[in-house]
A and B are shown apart, each in its own frame.
Chain A
Amino acid sequence: MRRARVLLLPLTFVSGYACALEPLSDSALAKIGGRDGMSFNLSNFAMAGNAVLRYHTPDGRGSIGIGNLSASRSDNVDAPFADPYRLDVISRGPGKAEIVNIAMPQNVLGREAWQFAFDFDVADNGIVVNGGSVILKDLVYYGGGLQWSTPATGDGLAFGLSTRMEIGSLALQPNGRGAAGEAMVLSNVRIGAANEDGSAPVAPWRLADVSAQAGIFNARTDEAGNSRLHIGINWPEAGAAAAAGTMQIGNISFRSDAGGTAAPNVDLGSSRIGSIQLQYLDIKFRP
């Protein structure tokens, strides 16, 4: 009996701690906001390094490598949280699969600009040929985004893609990124939805859309038994038309120091594709 009393004493201390849980009041509960998506963005991003991504042919003889990638992105420092990338799951109504949607920032002021540079090479049977450097300056995306869902028939991945971008300059420098004297340069490139009057795009070009003209990625076997990796874009749904896009290049030039002052540069001027419609695409990979 005495032992029982001894055991009771510590129990009173335990019960003192055990009453810590309290019911949440209605007012506190009301402050919890239900959220249905995720926003994200980069801040002060930059990368560099000597890493090489290399594709080797199945026989192991040849390869293509992309390496020494440098990349950075500037931020909209005035409002870093107002215009992010947004990931949402969008319902399409009864009987249809939901869509995972990633919307890019609207980036109206164009402050979020990317810079890229990388080197590439081609190797065959032990001989490596350096192809040069690709330098992309001021790549700016304005809106657009990606979609994922399931195809209307069969398995696989249905996707949507839309984009509006401006590229300050895209340079291919065969002697490396330090040798800007020899280069092919495309500058002031604009890609986006076509306008009737052929003016510069102001909206994203919808290349594929899960609801209206789905892109498709899957593995399929044809009637003859050939298995293929397949990527494509379906015909537009009935009543829908393929979206029209435009590509406008401000200037195309070939630069060279080697020719001296006589005619060092070839300036091809500007180029414009007023309206492009991608009605159907079907790519199958085979070894």
Chain B
Amino acid sequence: MKKLFTAFVLLLPAAAVLAGGPKPLPDSELAAVRGADGISFAVDLNLNRQPDNGLGDSRLTIGQKVDERMTYIVVRNIGGRIQMVGLNISPQTAADGTNYVALTLPAYTRFTDTGFDSISVQADPRGPVSGNLGRVSINGEITMQGQLRLWSH
């Protein structure tokens, strides 16, 4: 027991130094602190892609009741791959004092079979797809520059 107490007492000076409270940072050290602007993102989204390239059955359904009859918009197998590099979010202050969030648009985006397999309108959201209106896909690359700036008013 005594040993434990002794060990603790020996540690106390160290703790006291740490607990001495915040100290002002001299200007010279402060000048060396490098402020980074916001957060950058890289995204690789793979959505509803089957490992064997087979077809799944993932459905986004929106149900609407008009004239007391329920109808569903069914979008089947929304998915594909989206790779994005160079997305950045940072808080900024403009010269006129406006505080805003700057969303730097992704410098590079690649779409691989991004889209959906079918869109249909039907009374039974879980039944077989009937009245298919077609399929939409996006493939290829996009480069972007610029910012989307958001602020409150």
Which residues in A have some Cβ–Cβ distance to B below 8 Å?
2-3, 6, 9-10, 13, 16, 35-58, 60, 67, 69, 80-81, 84, 86, 154-156, 218-221, 225, 227-229, 285-287
**Provided the pairs A39-B151, A58-B135 are in contact, do residues A49 and B69 lie with their beta carbons within 8 angstroms?**
no
**Provided the pairs A37-B153, A286-B131 are in contact, do residues A219 and B71 lie with their beta carbons within 8 angstroms?**
yes
**Provided the pairs A54-B138, A58-B135 are in contact, do residues A46 and B153 lie with their beta carbons within 8 angstroms?**
no
Judging by beta carbons under 8 Å apart, are B153 and A86 in contact? yes
Closest to B142 in A: A49
* Min distance, Cβ A177 to any Cβ of chain B, angstroms: 17
Which residues in B have some Cβ–Cβ distance to A below 8 Å?
1, 4-5, 8, 12, 15, 19, 21, 62-67, 69-73, 94, 96, 98, 100, 102, 105, 109, 111, 118-123, 131-153
Judging by beta carbons under 8 Å apart, are A56 and B131 in contact? no
Contacts of A52 in B (CB 8 A): 138-140
Judging by beta carbons under 8 Å apart, are B71 and A48 in contact? no
A-B contact pairs, 21 of them (CB 8 A): A2-B1, A3-B1, A6-B4, A13-B19, A36-B153, A38-B153, A40-B150, A47-B142, A47-B144, A51-B142, A54-B136, A58-B132, A58-B133, A80-B149, A84-B151, A154-B66, A219-B72, A220-B66, A221-B69, A221-B70, A286-B131
How far is B115's CA from A51's CA once the two chains are assembled, in angstroms?
A: 13
* Min distance, Cβ B97 to any Cβ of chain A, angstroms: 9
How far is B140's CA from A239's CA once the two chains are assembled, in angstroms?
A: 51
How far is B143's CA from A119's CA once the two chains are assembled, in angstroms?
A: 17
**Provided the pairs A55-B136, A287-B131, A287-B133 are in contact, do residues A38 and B141 lie with their beta carbons within 8 angstroms?**
no
Interface centre among B64, B118, B123, B131 (most CB of A within 10 A): B64
* Min distance, Cβ B101 to any Cβ of chain A, angstroms: 9
